[in-house]
Amino acid sequence: MEMTEDVSSSPNLIKLTEKSLEGILYWTWSEIVNALKQCQDFFPKAISSGIVDKILETLVGRITTASDTSPRGSSSESSTIRFSCDTRSTVSTKSSSYRVWWFEDLVILNSESIEKIIRSMVSQNVDHVMVSRFLFYYIKYKFFNATSDEKKKATEIVVDLLYSLDRSSVSCKSLFGILRISSSLSLSKCCRSRLESMIGSQIDQATLDNLLVPAQAGMDSLYDVNLVLGFVKSFLSAGGRASLTRLKRVGNLIDLYLAEVAPDSCLKPSKFISLTTALPDSARDSHDAMYQAIDIYLEVHARLSEEEKTDVCCAINYGKLSLESCKHLAQNSNFPSRTAIQALISQQLKLKSLLQEANHLKSCGIPLKGNEYKKNQCDDGEQIILYAKKLNLPMENEKLKAHLQGMQCRVMELEKICKKLRTQMAQSMKTGESSPGSSISLPRLCS
């Protein structure tokens, strides 16, 4: 094909090839694939002459029009591998398994040929689900047979092609597969950024195991926390496309991740804080799981200063803690005293609200008994729907009041301690020194 009429009086080989391509519509599938494979040896010349475009047009046309019955047997060179990828597409079962006969015949081609084929398929509106499944199949095959350089090149091309597809057609699970198997390939910054962006945009579909990626050499922590933070950033950058339901799934996932990384003694407070504050408050209905993770972290990192501990606790919304968690926090020596006060005040406000609601319901004359929904109306005709669990209102009121008084007592005692601490600190500031033997005895909180 490198011959021209200037170097030989014989007919130009390119022209002969172009002449033979006139009958390409009658070629068998095997002949089309073999022709494209032969062009790989002199790809630039074959592309510039238009030969590759003609072959690609015919090849893609066969794929889009053929039935799910293979026009020929699969290539023996690629019959050693079987691979299937999951997708979340709503495409029917038939279209999801349709035309897979060509997968094994095309995996033997190099990455440049695959790039040409896929871009041609996308331009002809071939189903993106099918395209993504083939690309995952192809990269799996390459990692089974190729050299390191070939793996890197193929991965960068495949990621670039996947990035051009509709995100809903690309499997999050399979993207994590590429991320793991390519960790040692030193992918380009652009390629890695695109891969992480695709994963991040659908991180709500991930599992905890997906996120537990070991940290790269030179990192202090056990797991790659920066990677997860990048995923969350990509997810949030989707803006309105991320529904509240998806956001809460990510919140639950990050809470599970926090529990896994909290025992890591090498994880710096700044990284842990970045994880706890990565999502908006609306991502969590309850902060109990976050509290438990922070409790573990503070226990492992017992040498943190009071200020550092306070910073670690900054993400907790005390209003979203259960009463049990607040009780635990108030007696938890791992947490700074300031957080205990905040928790108690929060619960005090919550209990006041409950008392007000209970008194309001009582004034409306609503009977509260039985495990069922009761619909009643106040004097003004307003409907109230309430779920009650055998609630004896007078007794519950007394219990709530007693508990509220107990919490007020605890708050007062803690305020006294803080006042005493502030006085001692002020005296130390004036004298310029503090007595090493002095200590503050904390009074026992009333119950």
Task: Kindly report, residue by residue over 387-420, the tens digit of the pLDDT.
Answer: 333 444 455 455 555 665 666 666 666 666 666 7
- Unique residue bearing structure tokens 């390519």: 182
Q: Residue 204: is its pLDDT beyond 60?
A: yes
Is the per-residue pLDDT at 231 higher than 70?
yes
For residues 213 and 236, membership in a common domain is answered with yes
Strand partners, 372: 388
- 300 and 360 inside one domain: no
Domain boundary among 300, 335, 370: 335
Asked whether residue 273 is assigned to any structural domain, the reply reads yes
DSSP at 212: -
If you average pLDDT over residues 119-123, what whole number do you get?
93
Return the closest-CA partner of residue 88 out of 164, 162, 160, 172. 172
Q: Is residue 54 part of a domain?
A: no
Domain range for 396: 336-424
Which sign, positive or negative, has the C-alpha torsion 319, 323, 328, 330?
A: positive
> Is 86 contained in some domain?
no
356 and 324 fall within a common domain: no
Mean per-residue pLDDT, 257-266: 96
Residues 232 and 342 placed together within one structural domain of the fold: no
Domain count, the chain: 2
CB-based burial of residue 412 (10 Å sphere; 0-12 exposed, 13-18 middle, 19+ buried)? exposed
Together in a domain, 351 and 318:
no
322 and 238 inside one domain: yes
Dump pLDDT digits (tens) for 336-372: 888 878 877 877 777 777 677 766 666 665 555 444 4
Dihedral angle computed from the Cα positions of residues 112, 118, 119 and 122, in that order, rounded to the nearest 10 degrees: 180
Buried b (16+ CB within 10 A) or exposed e, 119-146: ebbeeeebbbbbbbbbbbbbbbbbbeeb
Q: Residue 22 pLDDT more than 70?
A: yes
Task: Show the tokens assigned to 397.
Answer: 């009121």
pLDDT tens for each residue of 423-444? 776 777 777 654 554 444 444 4
Residue 168 falls within a domain, yes or no? no
Q: Is residue 44 in a domain?
A: no
Confidence of residue 377 (pLDDT cuts 50, 70, 90): very low
pLDDT at 77 over 50: no
Tell me what pLDDT residue 241 has: 65
CA distance 420 to 425: 9
What burial letters (b/e) apply to 308-340, b meaning 16+ CB within 10 Å? bbebbbebbebebbeeebbebbbebebbbbebb
Mapped onto helix, strand or coil, the DSSP state of residue 188 is coil
User: If pLDDT is split at 50, 70 and 90, which confidence band does 327 have?
Assistant: confident
The pLDDT mean for the chain works out to 78
Phi, psi (degrees; rounded to nearest 5) at 376: -135, 170
Q: What angle do CA 168, 171, 175 make, to 5 degrees?
A: 125
Per-residue pLDDT, 205: 95
Q: Is there a single domain that holds both residue 349 and residue 328? A: no
**Mean pLDDT of the 42-51 span:** 75
Choose one of 285, 305, 335: the last residue of a domain.
335
Q: Are residues 330 and 206 in the same domain?
A: yes
Rounded Cα distance between 392 and 397, Å, is 9
End residue of a domain, out of 335, 366, 385 = 335
Q: pLDDT at residue 199 above 90?
A: yes
Residue 287 has pLDDT above 80, yes or no: yes
For residue 240, what pLDDT band results from cuts at 50, 70 and 90? low
* 322 plus 206 within the same structural domain: yes
Report the candidate in 168, 163, 117 with the shortest Cα–Cα distance to residue 138.
117
Is the pLDDT at 21 greater than 90, yes or no?
no
Specify the length of the chain in residues. 447
Q: CA-to-CA distance for 333 and 328, rounded, in angstroms?
A: 10
pLDDT at 17: 67
In a domain, 207, yes or no: yes
Q: Are residues 327 and 356 in the same domain?
A: no
Contacts of 382 (CB under 8 A, 6+ apart): none
What does the pLDDT look like over 290-319, one tens digit per residue?
A: 999 999 999 999 999 999 999 999 999 998
Q: Is residue 418 one of the residues assigned to a domain?
A: yes
Q: Are 342 and 361 in contact (CB under 8 A)?
A: no
Q: Are residues 314 and 213 in the same domain?
A: yes
pLDDT of residue 402: 62
| Whether residue 355 sits in one domain with residue 253 | no
- Domain contains 386: yes
**pLDDT over 70 at 36, yes or no:** yes
